[in-house]
Structure 1
Amino acid sequence: MTVEDDALTSLRDSGLLNLLNWAAPAAFAATDQIYDEDAGHDQGVIGYLNYKHLTDLMDRATGNGRFELGEDVEGTGSDVLARGIAPEAFRSMPSLTSKAIARNNYRQSPGWAADGYRVLLQSYVFGRVDDIKWGKRSDAKRRVASQAFIGQEALFDNADFGLQHIPGIPDGDGFAGLTLVAAHAFNPVTKQFELYIGQSKNPVFPMDTCWHWRHLLLSGGTPAGGLGLPVSPAPLGDAASIDVDDVVVRMKKPRVSQEAGTSNG
């Protein structure tokens, strides 16, 4: 197995991959509802809306951020979790075990971590995932792209000497694991969208890549001038899981209040 395979397997097992595949189409659909070219909305607005919607959805499903429960609170009603998102998105929201995915920010950049992997968000212009200039992004993204890439051979050699390499960001925040980036793009005009997961890289020469590796999770839509009807990023669970295995896990909110009128889940 490669480093990429190991990462994807762990992300599937923890539920993080399934969470991203659910949240991205729901976020794009929400952005599509707000986007108005006649109001002067541009790529900056699109990227910001996608970022805000994704952050909210990730926190909503994992019980983090404004959905975090106090120690003396046993559950959040479904009416609270369903408020502010499409009914289809709420019905297909992944169920996660308690504390399965923790909020783990890096230098004010929202992140979610599980089993030694942390995922940050980054928007880009559709079709230009290989042109992201990490050095021109936030300081957090520049530092994340400075992580060393440790291949399987290096890990094997270290094991022979009883050593264990712990990946991490140089001068980081003490997170003992690998920080990945979920890169997302949505074009509200053509309805094209993409979602990648990978380990970013600061290029060392002009034609060098900006990724150690990247994996396409989702894509859709109809290119400009193409035939057929555009495929909208509808927030449906089945549509969000075409290219990855579904992960069956339990909900972090173990009990729902009786006032919500739903059973425990």
Structure 2
Amino acid sequence: MTEDEKVISDMTEGGIIVSLRWAVTSAHARAWADFDPETGHNQTVLGIAAHTLLADRQDRAFRVEKYIAKEDARDRDVLLAGLLPPERASMPTCLGVERADLNNSPAWRYRQYRWFLTSFEYGKVHDIAWGRKSPTKRKIAAQTGSDSPDQFVLPGTYERRIGEVLDPVTLGELLAANERNSVLNIVLAHSLDAHTGATELFLGRPRLNVGGGKPWVWLRSLLPGDGGNGLGIRTDASQPTAPARGADVPDAPVRLRPRIAGQEPGAESAGR
């Protein structure tokens, strides 16, 4: 069994995969429903909303952070607050996961697997340049391992933007981190198309792709509705968990006062 097969198998058995599917469906549907280009929203607004909501939905499904199960009558209300009825009905319960943030980068851990969030431009999951990500993501992508010895890089070999200063990841740091840490750091990558609402969701082991190399040691789609193409793309933007963007809202009911015989229209209001 290869590493990716074992990861997917273990996380499926533990209920993690179904929880991640629910989380991204809920988060992306709500972000898409609230997205309104006519009011000035752009791809950045949509991306931030989707990313923030995906972290929140994972916390709910895994009962961590402010959603930790308590012996309190209000506990259920807090857990379900802000969710639509279909989201509430379909939300899974998955225990055994803990928050495992690193350097303020949100992460979740199940057994020996810890996953971080990253977003990417829709359709370009294979174009991610880890050298341009945060220091935490760069170090994760630079982790060594028997399955990918070519991941190992020396300081100063990162891709750089003009004027960007990158902190060095030394050879000693990488070796020490791998010796003391048996946790497999992986990445949950998601994307939401601003034009169609289509969703992409992947789980993979990143590879620091210096000079434009491959960004993944392995990458697996988590969406069952991608038509079997393995691309991680869900093309139906009509999510059942949130109202469609731009849906018509019924007008508020208006009660008209009966006109008094002989009174000119508007006379009542004019006399106020």
TM-score (norm 2): 0.70
Match of 2:4 in 1: 4
DSSP-derived class of the 2:210 partner: coil
| 8 Å CA contact retained: 1:113, 1:119 | yes
Call closer, same or farther: CA 1:170–1:21 in 2, change over 3 Å.
Answer: farther
Where in structure 1 do 4 or more consecutive aligned residues deviate above 6 Å?
none
| 8 Å CA contact retained: 2:16, 2:94 | no
Flag structure 1 segments of 5+ consecutive residues without an equivalent: 153-167, 222-228, 237-265
Write the distance in 1 (CA, Å) between the matches of 2:181 and 2:92: 25
2:146 to 147, 150, 153: 150
Question: Residue deviations 1:26-63, cap 9 Å, x none?
Answer: 00111012111123322221221111101111111222
Match of 2:129 in 1: 133
Call closer, same or farther: CA 1:172–1:53 in 2, change over 3 Å.
Answer: farther
Call closer, same or farther: CA 1:179–1:42 in 2, change over 3 Å.
Answer: same
What fraction of aligned residue pairs are identical, expressed as a percent? 30
* Residues 1:181 and 2:178 are matched in the alignment: no
* Residues 1:120 and 2:126 are matched in the alignment: no
* Residues 1:231 and 2:227 are matched in the alignment: no
| 8 Å CA contact retained: 2:22, 2:91 | yes
Match of 2:82 in 1: 84
Match of 2:218 in 1: 213
Question: In structure 1, what residue type is equivalent to 2:11?
Answer: L
CA shift for structure 1 position 150:
2.6
CA shift for structure 1 position 147:
1.2
Question: In structure 2, what residue type is equivalent to 1:118?
Answer: R
Match of 2:71 in 1: 74
Query: Larger C-alpha radius of gyration, 1 or 2?
Result: 2
Match of 1:58 in 2: 58
Flag structure 2 segments of 5+ consecutive residues without an equivalent: 149-172, 228-234, 243-272
Output aligned runs, 1:10-25, within 5 Å: 10-25=10-25
| 8 Å CA contact retained: 1:105, 1:112 | yes
Match of 2:199 in 1: 193
Call closer, same or farther: CA 1:84–1:7 in 2, change over 3 Å.
Answer: same
Call closer, same or farther: CA 1:188–1:146 in 2, change over 3 Å.
Answer: same
Question: In structure 2, what residue type is equivalent to 1:213?
Answer: W
Match of 1:203 in 2: 209
| 8 Å CA contact retained: 1:102, 1:113 | yes
Q: What's the RMSD between the two structures over aligned residues?
A: 2.7
